[in-house]
Chains A and B, each alone.
Chain A
Amino acid sequence: MCDNNDKPCCGAHKEIDFGAADEILNQYRGKEGVLIPVLQKIQAEYGWLSQPLVEHIARELNIYLSEVYGVVSFYSQFYTEPRWRYTIQICRGTACHVKGSLRILENIEDELDVKAGQMTKDGKFTVEEVNCVGACGIAPVVILGQKTLGSITVAETLDALRNFEEQ
């Protein structure tokens, strides 16, 4: 059961409205090789892929549930856990690594008391390591919410985080 209304819902205890999912499924039904785009669109709609949703997709597309989970767990962009609206993404490409992105990640983890891949206890942020975002010219790169912060230092990252909380 979800006991905290401030957190995103775990989806386990209540009925999910499959309406939006069905609309997406209807566009793809009967075509070949549609599983990945279907998952992408449904995730964009619901935020993450809960178990009931994945089961629904498997049933509707007539694909084994194990196969759908195989695909969901294979690709790093699919989430099987709820995520909060704000993500802090730390680019872990080579250029960012050489310019100290590991230090930035470790300090964010310490500051927020989470590990990469987890949501903070107050449910405000999800911290994520991401593969190279291709903005190596301005490494190291942190994407805070919608904003890309380039050539950033540990001190500046922590400042940005603290100021973000004040907003």
Chain B
Amino acid sequence: MSKNSKNKKLNNKSVNTAPNTNELTQVLICMGTGGVAAGALDVWASFKEELVLRNIPAMLGKRSCKVKQTGCRGLCAMDVLVDIIDPKLGKHTYKHVKPEMVSDLIEKHILGHEPIVKWFAGKDYEQFYVKQERTVMKQYGLVDPESIDDYIEAGGYIALKKAFKMEQVEVIEEVKKSGLRGRGGAGFPTGMKWGFCHATHGNDKYIIVNADEGDPGAFMDRSLLEGNPHAVLEGLIIGAYAIGCNHGYFYCRAEYPLAVKRLKIAIEQANEHGFLGDDILGSGFNLDVKVKEGAGAFVCGEETALMASIEGMRGMPRPRPPFPAHQGLWKKPSNINNVETFANIPLIINNGGDWYAGIGTEKSKGTKIFSLTGKIRNTGLIEVPMGITIKEVVFDICGGIPGRKRKFKAAQMGGPSGGCIPESLVDVPIDYDSLVEVGAIMGSGGVVVMDNTACMVDMSRFFLTFTQQESCGKCVPCRIGTKTMLEILTRITLGHGCEGDVDLLISLANDIKGSSLCGLGQTAPNPVLSTIRYYRDEYDAHIREKRCPANSCKALLKFEVIEELCKKCGICLKQCPVDAIIWKPKTKAVIELDKCIKCQTCIDACPFLAIH
């Protein structure tokens, strides 16, 4: 297929044009947030120190070794991931690299040319990439996110030059042709949105990148900004040109300091190279871009609330109309798109809208990045073509559910605005419309996988706690309605639920959905409705039998070992932080309730689900 050959071409190009690749051994260390949390900085320091210690002329030219930091690789569960690319042996990937392993890696692999097989990332790592289609994330792991030269070498800013040779409407037409829909969650066609804003007069307009990735469990935007900020920036500049606006903003949440730092570096470098500022590439087009840091408010992901926040006010949504395309930031026409949406733009301009429209399903085009987290073997970021099934994602790419007695129960998609997809629906294709049909949404792409130890009532309560806290309070249904729903859910999980609570929840949910001002309130009841739809029996068990079928709600637990299920393995004893478990080989474990602090560690640890 033509799209594949195009991919390959681009891939080869990016490898061949890297500096001195032929002579250098390259060490690529994953330095995303996941990598850094797993100790990537220490590994990086060890490599540098060892290379100096061993008098290997590190980064000094030919036959030496280049140590390079890379953005998030996606497979955070195996961090710290390190690639060693030997000119003769090719690329080998190591997982769970620790500083103490560095000396051996240098000795045996870099100097001795003998890779250490036992530390290889192995089959799971390869499996992780087989069904993925990495277009937006293609340059991950190859490009240093703090180097514009790296990005340019890998084919960056070619799309920008191409776009500037096109008419504005031609650019918009190309994006329309691609079928790209907003990656922030709602899925509005991007080309159409640009068209609305383009149609307004003057150049005193604003283009905004929504990097306020507040959905808990979603981190693809963080990863894009940390891993390849120039790609997003390039998309923004192309968008600004197409719409005809001179002011750009990144609104980035304050919880992502590394993303903010790398963005600022990228903007500075783009200014130096003439991709930003006045008279960009001699076209006469001007664009200045600023970064605004959020201050911690989920509702600011809503476009009108975000604009209020940039203006320095409380981030509260405004009623629409007027729509932002006519009256947005500072009452000027404004266009706002998600980080991932912008990251797709250079690809569309480079390869054409038709190429992009060839990927995915009839109504959902292209690829989508998902963050797979929760009770799953390989957590991390994946990029897949639209239309792939949940089953393929969970089991083929991410390796399924860890633990012998643990089974897949549900995948939660769309965060606090979304819903659950139960086991019976794992064959549903992932596209905007199919997901809505089953009561979930695409959302920004967070997928939290739950196994049979997750209580669905507790999950509802968790999401309502979140939305209730983040409700800005401007409209009554959201402010008071979500609070009432939360109170009902809380009493159910505490064992005080009463008959009729579930029906009351459904009725409240529908009212809140119908009458709230903005997207936060309109979607806040979704997690509750979705869990009631598929797991009503669990609600009933909590209310009628005062029992939590998943053994998760603390107030309903007895902290007793079930004799028939206990395999007498003693794992619970090793995990208990207060030594409250009595166990001897070949005997059933017993929990001493006067010592037990009810931390539930044993319940999580027991492979046989024998504690309730």
Contacts and interface: CB of A to CB of B under 8 A. Distances in A.
Chain A partners chain B: yes
Interface of A: 32-37, 39-40, 67, 70-71, 74-78, 92-100, 103, 106-107, 110, 130-139, 141, 148-150, 153-155, 158
A99 B216 CA distance: 13
B310 interface: yes
A32 to B, nearest CB: 7
B78 to A, nearest CB: 9
B228 interface: no
Q: Which 5 A-B pairs have the closest CB atoms?
A: A137-B76, A93-B216, A75-B295, A95-B373, A76-B296
A67 B316 CA distance: 13
B601 to A, nearest CB: 5
Contacts of A92: 216, 466
A136 to B, nearest CB: 4
Nearest to A91: B216
Contacts of A138: 34, 37-38, 76-77, 79, 379
B24 interface: no
A145 B380 CA distance: 25
B454 A37 contact: no
A93 B36 CA distance: 19
Nearest to B256: A134
B415 interface: yes
Contact of A135 (B33, B213, B462, B576): B33
A32 B255 contact: no
Interface centre among B222, B295, B296, B297 (most CB of A within 10 A): B295
Contact of A78 (B295, B309, B449): B295
Interface in B595-612: 597, 599-601, 604
Contacts of A71: 312-314
A77 to B, nearest CB: 4
A124 B292 CA distance: 32
B446 interface: yes
B577 A154 contact: yes
Contacts, number: 166
B288 to A, nearest CB: 14
A74 B315 contact: yes
Given A136-B379, A153-B601, A33 B217 contact: no
Contacts of B604: 100
B38 to A, nearest CB: 6
Contact of B215 (A132, A141, A155, A158): A132
A98 B375 contact: yes
14 contacts: A36-B312, A67-B313, A71-B312, A75-B297, A96-B216, A97-B462, A98-B450, A107-B599, A132-B255, A150-B37, A154-B600, A155-B575, A155-B576, A155-B601
Nearest to A147: B37
B371 interface: yes
Contacts of B38: 138, 150
B219 interface: yes
A44 B466 CA distance: 26
A75 B449 CA distance: 30
B448 interface: yes
Contacts of A78: 295-296
A99 B375 contact: yes
A76 B463 CA distance: 18
Given A71-B314, A95-B373, A137-B79, A103 B255 contact: no
B298 A135 contact: no
Nearest to A143: B37
A67 B597 CA distance: 45
Nearest to A63: B312
B380 A103 contact: no
Contacts of A36: 292-293, 295, 309, 312
B597 A107 contact: yes
B400 interface: no
A129 B371 CA distance: 22
A153 B575 contact: yes
Interface in B368-385: 371, 373-375, 379-381
A5 B601 CA distance: 39
Nearest to B453: A98
A74 B463 CA distance: 20
Contacts of B518: none
Interface string B425-458: 0000000000000000000001011100010000
Contacts of A149: 37
Given A36-B293, A76-B296, A138-B379, 5 more contacts: A71-B312, A97-B459, A98-B459, A139-B374, A158-B577
B408 to A, nearest CB: 13
Contacts of A74: 297, 314-315, 472
A138 B412 CA distance: 18
B115 interface: no
B188 interface: no
A107 B379 CA distance: 26
Interface string B267-299: 000000000000000000000000011111110
A129 B69 CA distance: 31
Contacts of B371: 136-137
A36 B312 CA distance: 5
Contacts of B37: 135, 138, 141, 148-150
A78 B601 CA distance: 34
Contact of B217 (A70, A94, A107): A94
B563 interface: no
